[in-house]
């Protein structure tokens, strides 16, 4: 499938979603196309499956409510990533507030959490990499994940995070260097 066909299909999908005619079918198509990508993007940030599921649902509900405002200034997938990213950050901040007030208590390091997670069966190297990523500030974490795992271009990441490409390159380089250092020293 070439790029022009993809963008035409994308335009058709957006038109259906915005028109209200067969919106249900278009929405299911949107889910089929993007649910997995967005799920993994969210899961890498929130770690646990249940949390990722909640955030993914919230993301698509927000997409459904706001699709009429999508003007096509960016790619559909970067727009979806932006919503997913915002929902994820909102969720993480809520969790942090709950933990700060003692409503929710999550004990232990990221390694301990992953080992206790029934939906994680990674080895020690994978746990170490997750622990290294966990040391990064949120924005660097996002940039690293999108570049390293999703192979996204800096331009697309800049659309998602609404930051300059230069700033993103610097963030990614810092993130990679920190992770490399963590891997070497742990």
Give residues in contact with another protein (CB under 8 A): 20, 22-25, 28, 31-32, 35-36, 39-40, 43-44, 49, 53, 56-57, 60-61, 64-65, 114, 119-123, 125-127, 129-130, 147-149, 151, 153-154, 173, 176-177, 179-180, 183-184
Distance CA 9, CA 101 (A): 47
Distance CA 29, CA 185 (A): 46
Q: Which is nearer to another protein, 105 or 184 (CB)?
A: 184
To the nearest whole angstrom, how small is the minimum distance from the Cβ of residue 95 to another protein?
18
Q: What is the CA radius of gyration of the chain?
A: 18
Q: 126, 100, 102: which is closest to 47 by C-alpha?
A: 126
Q: Which is nearer to another protein, 20 or 72 (CB)?
A: 20
Distance CA 129, CA 44 (A): 12
Q: Which is nearer to another protein, 95 or 182 (CB)?
A: 182
Q: 156, 163, 176: which is closest to 76 by C-alpha?
A: 156
Q: Which is nearer to another protein, 6 or 57 (CB)?
A: 57
To the nearest whole angstrom, how small is the minimum distance from the Cβ of residue 117 to another protein?
9
To the nearest whole angstrom, how small is the minimum distance from the Cβ of residue 152 to another protein?
9
To the nearest whole angstrom, how small is the minimum distance from the Cβ of residue 11 to another protein?
20
> Are the CB atoms for 114 and 127 separated by under 8 Å?
yes
């Amino acid at each position: 499938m070439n790029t022009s066909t993809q963008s035409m299909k994308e335009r058709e999908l957006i038109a259906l979603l915005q028109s209200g005619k067969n919106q249900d079918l278009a929405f299911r198509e949107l889910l089929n196309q993007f649910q997995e990508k967005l799920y993994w993007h969210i899961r890498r940030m929130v770690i646990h499956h249940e949390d990722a599921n909640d955030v993914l649902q919230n993301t698509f509900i927000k997409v459904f409510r706001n699709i009429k405002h999508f003007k096509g200034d960016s790619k559909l997938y970067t727009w979806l990533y932006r919503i997913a990213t915002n929902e994820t950050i909102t969720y993480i901040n809520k969790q942090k507030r709950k933990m700060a007030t003692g409503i929710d208590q999550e004990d232990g390091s990221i390694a301990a959490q992953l080992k206790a997670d029934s939906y994680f069966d990674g080895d020690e190297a994978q746990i170490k990499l997750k622990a290294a990523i966990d040391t990064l500030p949120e924005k660097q974490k996002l940039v690293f994940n999108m570049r390293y795992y999703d192979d996204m271009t800096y331009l697309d990441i800049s659309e998602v995070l609404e930051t300059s490409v230069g700033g993103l390159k610097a963030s990614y380089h810092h993130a990679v260097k920190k992770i490399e250092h963590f891997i070497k020293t742990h």
